Amino acid sequence: MSQINRLAEGGLINRSKPLNFSFDGKTYEGFEGDTLASALIANGVSLFGRSFKYHRPRGVMTAGSEEPNALVELRTGNRLEPNSRATTVELFDGLVANSQNRWPSLNFDLMSINSLLSPFFTAGFYYKTFMWPASFWEKLYEPAIRRAAGLGKPPEGFDPDHYEKSFAHCDVLVIGAGPAGLSAALAAGRSGARIILSDEGPLLGGRLLSDNLFINDMPALDWVQKVTAELENLPNIKILRRTTVFGVYDHGVYGAVERVSDHLAVPNEFSPRQRSYRIIAKRAILGSGAVERTMVFGDNDRPGIMLGSAVRTYINQYAALPGKRAVVLISSNDGLRTVDALKNNGAQIEAIIDTRNGEMIQRALGGKRVQAVQTIDKNGNIRIVECDLVAVSNGWNPSLHLTCHLGGRPVWDEAKNAFLPGKLPTGLTVAGAAQGKFTLQEALEDGSRAGNEAAEQLGYQVKSIEIPSAEPEVFAHQPTWRIKSTKGKSFVDFQHDVTDLDIELANREGFKSVEHMKRYTTLGMATDQGKTANVAGLAILGEVSNRTIPEVGTTIFRPPYTPVSLGALAGHHIHRDFRPTRLTPSHQWASERGAVFMETGLWMRAQYFPEYSGENWLDAMIREVKGTRESVGVCDVSTLGKIDIQGKDAAIFLDRIYTGTFSTLPVGRVRYGLMMREDGFVFDDGTTARLGEHHYLTTTTTAGAAKVMAHLEFCHQVLWPELNIAFTSVTEQWAQYSVAGPNARAVLEKIVDPDIDISNEQFPYMACKSITICGKIPARLFRISFSGELAYEIGVPNRYGDALIRALMDAGKSYGIIPYGLEALSTMRIEKGHVAGGELNGQTTPRDLGLSKMVSQKKDCIGKHMSERPALLEPERPILVGIKVKNTRSKLTGGAHFLDIGSQASLDKDLGHLTSVTYSPNLNCWIGLGLLKNGRNRLGETIRAVDFMRKTDVLVEVCDPVFLDVDGERLRG
Amino acid sequence: MRIPCPFCGERDLQEYSFLGEAGLKRPDPKADDAQQQFHDYVHIRKNKAGLTNELWQHIHGCRSWIVVRRDTLTHEIFSSEFASDTLKEPAK
Amino acid sequence: MKYSVFSLIHQAIRGQKDWTPVWRDPEPKEEYDIVLIGGGGHGLATAYYLAKEHGLKNIAVLEKGYIGGGSVGRNTTIVRSNYQEPGNIPFYELSLKLWEGLEQDLNYNVMMSQRGVLNLYHSDSQRDEYARRGNAMAMHGVDGELLNRDQVREMVPFLDFENGRFPIQGGLLQRRGGTARHDAVAWGFARGADSRGVDILQNTEAKQIRVENGKAVGVETNRGFIKAKKIGIVAAGNTTRVAETAGLRLPIESYVLQAFVSEANKPLVPCVVTFGAGHFYISQSDKGGLVFGASLDYYTSYAARGNLPAVEDTIEEAIAIMPGISRIRLLRHWGGIMDMSMDGSPIIDKTDIDGLYLNCGWCYGGFKATPGSGFCFAHLIAKDEMHPAAKALRLKRFETGHVIDEAGTGAQPNLH
């Protein structure tokens, strides 16, 4: 396929590297160094896509990331990237792109019928209609709108590529490697400051790549090469190409994304597709340049109507001629540069229309490509000029977006006829065209200044730098915002199809605030965020509401500067690595036994241990409970939080944070404790062992471990810093197992060292002791019981955890010891009426849990006062009870609510809910714990547990929450 | 956001947790109006638009609780110090 | 002008020439019966219902910037009534019922779309928590269904059912929930209130509530003093700043919450989906953008913008349940100021100052409450008594202990 519009020479493309690609199924050839847009232009393609609302044919308008029109679906299948700007997609061999938002084809799009309905489809149209009849919105109107809306198709499956996240630190971040940015990086870099220089494109140079300018009487590209070579040789400079700094955050934090592999067909092995950076910079210099403005006239969206600067880029950087018969529309001498570029490369200039002379384009003619323009001069003479290209130059909008991310508002500059940066983020300065310094000479000077200043402020010795001299340029101009059209639509926001009439209508309907106009018309809300639309939009709003541009003001620029793939911001924290996985000390052993695991917060814990393949959780749980209650079972409880508290005020401290008293706890004993939040609700519970006079070990729930630790640190450091205590979390330092059941002692006796006496007399219920096991291995033994059986918890340093579970299983073999999982653990604690997650839900007080007696009346503690607020003492408040099915064949479901027999469902009649349920192998029926209004006075009564979600309604008996061994004989045995 | 920790130096926001207004004094439980004081202590906040003293914890660092002087309108940070130190002087 | 098929066709032919401002731009009067401080969704809704339900006319809404410029125009547009606590259920259900008739009531299409709200659960205990909530809703006749994994897969097939860190086990679905077009809600209420005589005063900032002898008598503004018989504070994130001018101290802290939108794509996400192992929520707008958010930026702020850790956390949660959107691009993220209350539930009540009424504490659930909040606040101001559906939303509940803590996280606003 011949590249009919490829210039014979010039450009920064590599003609020795031809690349094949396809667009809408047709194959083409381009060169290395092309973008998709430049390659298609070189092949004579001018129709790239269809617009959002009216499905009008659209071509390329720009040559950069501000492109509103030329959006394509890039790649296919799971790598599909909808809404990709052809102007920034680097060409690679085998690239596949398709046009989007058209049916059945780009050339013949039936949806363009919307254009005929455009008298209806004005701004705010939706708000006024689709209301009759009411039920049709979800059924008819909305599905149709949704199908028609959107742009590209989303990818079809999960992304096969991966992404990285990275932190980067520097003294000076230079954003943009145009003349200002290069000068800044050079000045600051020579001082020795650590620099990161980023540019969104693959090449450094900015506008020097596309305008044939001269520096020191040499081609500017020579200067770019020289500077690049020097920067690359400086060890203190990191150059990030293909990297967009997309956001400014507080205190010198910048978000950036590097497109590591997007210029390749697939990423290289071990390379991410993209890498996001959080850059921490002491200073930053924004050299982001400026975006040229177009003009608003009739049918100004016809393919072939482009920015003058883009025309020059395609010619000079890509050696692709966008048209052969050109009309150049300008409002300043700056645009005349385009005339030279076109003339020198074989295009014919059909007309130069200079609005300063009072001549204007009224309307473009043509459909899928511009064919002519209709102009009107100051005397009202109309002429038609045939052409296939219109190059528009109407001044420049500084790319100051990043200066607004921390709340800065752009300020209108009358002299430059442009918005300039307002209040800047701390540490950021702006240089070059982004600051309204549009000439090359100004940019070079301003960049050097900014680089020097930044380095100096950071204490680096700056070297004097000779500022090169550039050829003179003139940028003064008077923009022409719009030419009132006689016919045809005049687009302001091309991608969202917002016209000047939409802005007029918004104003007519009172949407005069610039934010209201934006939201009502959707101007500036498309994927380009109005980079080419916003300023013209508010200029027109000013015109129709008789306000100046400063009076109208601007909308707010938000991050990201250009859209960022979500994957880049998630990095490797996806799939199984979304959050860390914590494994218990017995995990390896449990895996070998075929345990079924479940997530408990970040932990993976054994849910049950199937005895044979396919044993279900219920059968396994029953077997594990029976085995434990009849002989002995073992369970890994290492996930419980463990906090080691030491110091001479440890006892006082614990008395203040727990409802109970720990100062009276003898050394070598354990006590259960309840902790409240200061608002009087239960925060956490656990046991605390006194290991020495000034040494306690406190345990927390698995879920509460981290927050209890932070709470204790708060209480110490903020409330009572005078207390002499220190504590540290030892959750992961100790592996801990519960050994429970009538034979628990017999099993443990086999592993404790011979000099250790753990008889009931020497080591009674609630005793604790540091011991040695298995031949001098240090261990801690606690006689505590969650299951209600004779039980111990034995802890060893984590590295012995795996060995200990194996040793325990060995020692217990003759007693038929079995491991039990969370299901059995939970069943046994419900049978004993112990509270856990369902009851410790942050909404219950000690009183609600039937634990009022745990709150010492002799002292204050965190939460005590607030737990006595009147509403929390109302007798009607739900209180913990046991629940047992009346009919043993009935099943209970967690979350069912209680109703009296005969009550209709209503909030008034709602009596509470089931907090925990289980099948009890000992009672041979389903039981549960629940919070029941007035519950303690209803023991023995029959009520209903109603579950509308599972559609069950079960008769249950209210009973004491302790179902088994009420007097606790087993655990003391 | 970058927050200076008096122990570790300047660190990223994501290493910290935030609690709220600093300088609140836990009431004397024996005071006559203790109930009212506790209500205010637990619930009522200045919630100032502007300069505040607030409690952060360097939870993924040294675990110090610190008092940070910050402007809630601009997020600008002026200073930070150990919470335990600030308590030695009466709260301003 | 009434919006009808006739007026639309007529205006299409007339080149849309005859439309008039959707609300007037009046000069402030010297005195109003009722002045509402805050021209957001709730303030405008209150004005509308005061006029419509209670026949009151002499009302002003003060807005320091442009109406709808705060939370109502910054949120993720979710509408639902799937609450658990008895103090909240009747209120949010009343609000949802009002949503269901809002377009016809306002003659303005707010694009209320009942596409369903699906809360995913990832463990047995979470399933039971959701069942508890669904059953509480059912007690009040609120619709809810507990779906298993297969039913969720049928509804939202592209979720990660295979490789998730927290496997999806099912979900609680409220089919009547969905989304609405946020800006349109503000504009629709403004139009309705304006047409009933309410003065909407933009660029009018309340500087000071004047209190004389324990009674609120008016508001100092940048446009002069405005006398008022009754004053309602409906200032969302700025509640504290307004209330402190009357000497009120409140159980409120202001935090920043970020919201996110992706580039527009063809339909992918059929309903609102929330992630049970995080705070992430997502829907797709009619225009095609994925609209999503997650946790607060955990610090107090009036700056209405957030920081990168919350951005990255949110997007990690997004990819955790929907790995397929990783190549879709983030278009814009922004922040809003949330009036976080100490129990995570709102306050609609009188204050200790005669004639001064308070509506605040919406945390990050204010949008769905817009019509209900306006309806109940109007009832309170007009009749000096709590609306039955909002009777639990008292200011004094923190003193009495009647807190409404859905999340069970206590008096620490950034945990709700």
Residues A933, A889 share a domain: yes
User: Mean pLDDT of all residues in chain C?
Assistant: 97
Residue A123 is classified by DSSP as: T
What residue numbers bound the domain in which B56 lies?
A: 2-86
The CATH number of whichever domain residue A247 belongs to comes to 3.50.50.60
Question: In the prediction, which pLDDT does A117 show?
Answer: 80
Q: How far is residue C311's CA from residue C259's CA, in Å, rounded to a whole number?
A: 9
Whether residue A3 lies inside any domain: the answer is: no
Residue A138 is classified by DSSP as: I
- C252/B14 Cβ within 8 A: no
- Residue C129, classed as helix, strand or coil, is helix
Helix intervals (H) in A522-600? 534-544, 549-552, 566-570, 587-592
Question: In the prediction, which pLDDT does B91 show?
Answer: 41
Question: In the prediction, which pLDDT does B88 show?
Answer: 58
pLDDT tens for residues A687-721? 999 999 999 999 999 999 999 999 999 999 999 99
- Residue A4, classed as helix, strand or coil, is coil
Q: Select the residue of A142, A522, A872 nearest C113 (Cβ to Cβ).
A: A142
Q: How far is residue A429's CA from residue A448's CA, in Å, rounded to a whole number?
A: 12
Residues A541, A509 share a domain: yes
Domain count, chain B: 1
pLDDT bin (cut points 50, 70, 90) of residue C225 is very high
Indicate which of A250, A283, A657 best probes the interface with B, i.e. most B CBs within 10 Å of its own CB.
A250
> Is A574 touching C (CB cutoff 8 A)?
yes
Contacts across the A-C interface (CB distance below 8 Å): 343
Whether residue B91 lies inside any domain: the answer is: no
- A860/B2 Cβ within 8 A: no
- Neighbouring chains of A at 3+ CB pairs within 8 Å? B, C
Identify all chain C residues contacting A163, using CB atoms and an 8 Å cutoff: 326
Would you say the C-alpha torsion C390, C391, C394, C400 has a positive or negative sign? Answer: negative
Q: Select the residue of B26, B35, B83 nearest A717 (Cβ to Cβ).
A: B83
Residues A748, A624 share a domain: yes
**In chain A, which residue's Cα lies nearest the Cα of C110?**
A127
- Residue C159, classed as helix, strand or coil, is coil
Q: How far is residue A831's CA from residue A312's CA, in Å, rounded to a whole number?
A: 81
What residue numbers bound the domain in which A517 lies?
A: 478-552
Q: How far is residue A209's CA from residue A217's CA, in Å, rounded to a whole number?
A: 16
Amino acid identity, position A128: K
pLDDT tens for residues A196-252? 999 999 999 999 999 999 999 999 999 999 999 999 999 999 999 999 999 999 999
pLDDT tens for residues B7-33? 999 999 999 999 999 999 999 999 999
C-alpha distance from B6 to closest chain A C-alpha (Å): 14
Report whether A917 contacts A823 (CB < 8 A): no
Q: What angle do CA A924, A926, A932 make, to 5 degrees?
A: 135
Q: Select the residue of C20, C319, C401 nearest A567 (Cβ to Cβ).
A: C319
Report whether C80 contacts C96 (CB < 8 A): yes
Beta strands in C63-108 (DSSP E): 78-79
Write out the DSSP string of A671-700.
EEEEEE-TTSSEEEEEEEEEEETTEEEEEE
Please name every residue paired with A253 in a beta bridge, in sequence order, or none if there are none. A249, A280
Q: How far is residue A424's CA from residue A438's CA, in Å, rounded to a whole number?
A: 19
Q: Select the residue of B17, B35, B42 nearest A678 (Cβ to Cβ).
A: B42
Identify all chain B residues contacting C345, using CB atoms and an 8 Å cutoff: none
Amino acid identity, position A486: T
Q: How far is residue A292's CA from residue A395's CA, in Å, rounded to a whole number?
A: 6
Whether residue B78 lies inside any domain: the answer is: yes
In this structure, the number of other CB atoms found within 10 A of the CB of residue A452 comes to 21
Whether residue B76 lies inside any domain: the answer is: yes
Helices (H) and strands (E) in chain A, counts: 24, 50
**What percentage of residues in chain A have a pLDDT greater than 70?**
100
Smallest CA-to-CA distance from C367 within C124, C185, C167 is with C185
Residues A601, A742 share a domain: yes
Report whether B16 contacts B80 (CB < 8 A): no
Q: Select the residue of B43, B54, B74 nearest C398 (Cβ to Cβ).
A: B43
The verdict on pTM exceeding 0.90 is: yes
Identify all chain C residues contacting B39, using CB atoms and an 8 Å cutoff: 398-399
Identify all chain A residues contacting B87, using CB atoms and an 8 Å cutoff: 718, 721
Q: How far is residue A295's CA from residue A491's CA, in Å, rounded to a whole number?
A: 9
- A721/B2 Cβ within 8 A: no
Asked if residue A410 has pLDDT above 70, the reply is yes
Q: Select the residue of C131, C144, C409 nearest A894 (Cβ to Cβ).
A: C131
Contacts across the B-C interface (CB distance below 8 Å): 66
Identify all chain A residues contacting C73, using CB atoms and an 8 Å cutoff: 515, 519
H-helix or E-strand containing A372? strand A370-376
Report whether A375 contacts A385 (CB < 8 A): yes
In this structure, the number of other CB atoms found within 10 A of the CB of residue A94 comes to 11
Six-digit token string for A362: 């009224």
pLDDT bin (cut points 50, 70, 90) of residue C275 is very high
More confident residue, A471 or A86: A86
The CATH number of whichever domain residue A516 belongs to comes to 1.10.10.1100
Helices (H) and strands (E) in chain B, counts: 2, 6
Whether residue B31 lies inside any domain: the answer is: yes
- Residue A164, classed as helix, strand or coil, is strand
The CATH number of whichever domain residue B77 belongs to comes to 3.30.2270.10
pLDDT tens for residues C290-344? 999 999 999 999 999 999 999 999 999 999 999 999 999 999 999 999 999 999 9
Residues A483, A628 share a domain: no
Residues A174, A272 share a domain: yes
pLDDT tens for residues A717-775? 999 999 999 999 999 999 999 999 999 999 999 999 999 999 999 999 999 999 999 99
* Residues in contact with A325: Cβ distance below 8 Å, sequence separation at least 6, in sequence order: A347, A348, A350, A386, A387, A388, A389
Q: How far is residue C17's CA from residue B73's CA, in Å, rounded to a whole number?
A: 43
- What does each C-alpha distance from A588 to A187, A582, A592, A603, A799 come to in angstroms? 58, 12, 6, 14, 13
- Residue A455, classed as helix, strand or coil, is helix
- In the stretch 155-214 of chain A, residues with CB closer than 8 A to chain C read 155-159, 163, 165
Residues A259, A191 share a domain: yes
In this structure, the number of other CB atoms found within 10 A of the CB of residue A218 comes to 11
Q: How far is residue A949's CA from residue A952's CA, in Å, rounded to a whole number?
A: 8
pLDDT bin (cut points 50, 70, 90) of residue A78 is very high
Whether residue A565 lies inside any domain: the answer is: no
Domain count, chain A: 6
Asked if residue A1 has pLDDT above 60, the reply is no
pLDDT bin (cut points 50, 70, 90) of residue A8 is very high
Q: How far is residue C152's CA from residue C161's CA, in Å, rounded to a whole number?
A: 10
Residues A445, A499 share a domain: no
Asked if residue A131 has pLDDT above 60, the reply is yes
**In chain A, which residue's Cα lies nearest the Cα of B26?**
A719
Computed over its alpha carbons, how large is the radius of gyration of chain A? 37
Q: How far is residue A281's CA from residue A254's CA, in Å, rounded to a whole number?
A: 8
Pairing, β A952-959 against β B2-5: unpaired
Question: In the prediction, which pLDDT does A123 show?
Answer: 86
Report whether A478 contacts A463 (CB < 8 A): no
- C330/A569 Cβ within 8 A: yes
Whether residue A76 lies inside any domain: the answer is: no
Residues A615, A684 share a domain: no
Whether residue A55 lies inside any domain: the answer is: no
- A569/C311 Cβ within 8 A: yes
Six-digit token string for C208: 């000071």
pLDDT tens for residues A435-446? 999 999 999 999
Indicate which of C77, C102, C128, C268 best probes the interface with A, i.e. most A CBs within 10 Å of its own CB.
C128
Order of strands, sheet of A641-646, starting from the edge strand that comes earlier in the sequence:
A670-676, A682-692, A695-700, A641-646, A726-729
Report whether C197 contacts C57 (CB < 8 A): yes
Question: In the prediction, which pLDDT does B87 show?
Answer: 66
Q: How far is residue C196's CA from residue C52's CA, in Å, rounded to a whole number?
A: 7
Whether residue A790 lies inside any domain: the answer is: yes
Lowest-confidence region among A131-135, A275-279, A440-444? A131-135
Please name every residue paired with A572 in a beta bridge, in sequence order, or none if there are none. none
Whether residue B54 lies inside any domain: the answer is: yes
C-alpha distance from B40 to closest chain A C-alpha (Å): 11
Question: In the prediction, which pLDDT does A43 show?
Answer: 98
Residues A412, A284 share a domain: yes
**In chain A, which residue's Cα lies nearest the Cα of C10?**
A120
Write out the DSSP string of A390-413.
EEEE--EEE--GGGGTTS---EEE
pLDDT bin (cut points 50, 70, 90) of residue B89 is low
Residues A278, A214 share a domain: yes
- Residues of B engaging A, defined by a Cβ cutoff of 8 Å: 1-2, 12-13, 17, 19, 26-27, 29, 34-35, 38-39, 41-42, 55, 57, 59, 63-65, 74-77, 82-84, 87-88
Residues A961, A889 share a domain: yes
Q: How far is residue C371's CA from residue C366's CA, in Å, rounded to a whole number?
A: 10
Asked if residue A315 has pLDDT above 50, the reply is yes
Identify all chain C residues contacting B80, using CB atoms and an 8 Å cutoff: none
User: Mean pLDDT of all residues in chain A?
Assistant: 96
Six-digit token string for A461: 């010795």
Whether residue B92 lies inside any domain: the answer is: no
Report whether A880 contacts A850 (CB < 8 A): yes
pLDDT tens for residues A283-307? 999 999 999 999 999 999 999 999 9
Six-digit token string for A778: 């240090």
